[in-house]
Amino acid sequence: MGSNLKYYNDSVIKESIDRILSEMASVFAQCGQDSTLKEIKDAYKKEWALMDEIAKIDPEFAKVIRPYNEQEWKRNTTK
């Protein structure tokens, strides 16, 4: 599987994706026990948008980190 991923074959793409992954981690690191439900939902929305950015760079890598579809995501984040 790894051989199909641009992430593992192109250092520039890997660096770009790693930067986005770092931003994704930061989004959730800023959520804490005192975060409101709206802030947590906003973090999930930001995560989804960042995964969309990754999908533009390497669609196959995006499938690895986001194995679910948008309907499943919305169902799980809008409760």
37-78 per-position pLDDT tens digit? 999 889 989 999 999 999 999 999 998 888 776 666 565 556
pTM of the model: 0.79
The radius of gyration computed from the CA coordinates of the chain, to the nearest angstrom, equals 14
DSSP classification of residue 68: S
- C-alpha 51/C-alpha 57 separation (Å) is 10
9-31 per-position pLDDT tens digit? 999 999 999 999 999 999 988 88
Please give the residue range of the domain that contains residue 9.
Answer: 2-77
Of 42, 20, 23, 18, the residue nearest 31 (C-alpha): 42
Q: Into how many domains does the chain fold?
A: 1
Beta carbons within 8 Å of 66's beta carbon, 6+ residues apart = 51, 55
Q: Do the Cβ atoms of 49 and 19 come closer than 8 Å?
A: no
